[in-house]
Amino acid sequence: MAAERIISTPGSPQTQDEPAPAEAAGATAADGARAALRRRRVGVLFAVAFCAYLIDLVSKLTVVAKLEGRSPIRIVSDVVTLQVIRNPGAAFGMGQTMTVVFTLIAAAVIVVIWRISRRLYSLPWAIALGLLLGGALGNLTDRLFRAPGVFRGHVVDFISVQHFAVFNLADSAIVCGGILVVLLSFRGSNPDGSTHQQSAARSTAQPAEPAEPTQPTQPTEAAELSEPSAKTD
């Protein structure tokens, strides 16, 4: 008698590998936990940014109302004093003829941080980016709303360190955030929680070549459904 061989066609129940219900539920739970973690990290980023921005804004409003036009106030002898200076340049008084350029750079930094936040899972990176975002927003507010005009506003600086520079709390937040970013990079940490080694391993790994899809053929006569009977003597 002929030994029949069943040939299944693509899409048939015999060829479909459906994931087990337990595996599908586990994958869904893992994805949900990862999404919740990202939301918490983004929340930390915006909380740090809001605090840095609010402290900078309140400090500038206070010193402008209380100290502008008055003699410097000594904090640590003549080494650290408080005096209001309107700065058209970047942090620490650099680039005073490029006000509009620095305004655009601050806006670009905010956009970049927003894009990074979409794959943010690291707490230290959330704090670092929050400091950068809060500082950039603080100085950008001055650029937009202070004299002499929009995009050309002068930033309020008021912390003077002898033989160094005059700066504000937004500058301090930017510097602290930048230092933290450098330290995290040297340690091999990425915003998504992975390390540089893991990222390099993923990029160099050769993915398995997918099987070429075959066009389903129309079944012919019984030749495709069974083998011919073996003749016996």
Please tell me the pTM assigned to this model. Answer: 0.73
Distance, in Å, from the CA atom of 75 to the CA atom of 86, rounded to the nearest integer, reads 20
Average pLDDT estimate for 102-112: 88
Identity at 193, one-letter amino acid code: G
Catalytic site residue from 17, 31, 142, 157: 157
Helix or strand or coil: residue 155? strand
The question of whether 157 is a catalytic residue gets the answer yes
Annotated catalytic residue 171? yes
Which one has a higher pLDDT value, 83 or 22?
83
Identify the active-site residue in 31, 171, 192, 233: 171
- pLDDT at position 225, please? 43
Domains of the chain, by residue range, sit at 45-69+80-190
Q: What is the pLDDT of residues 157-209, one digit of tens each?
A: 999 999 888 899 999 999 999 999 999 999 999 999 888 777 777 777 655 55
- Quick: pLDDT tens for 35-71: 999 999 999 999 999 999 999 999 999 999 999 989 9
Q: What is the DSSP string of 183-198?
A: HHHHTTB-TTS-BHHH
Residue 39 one-letter amino acid = R
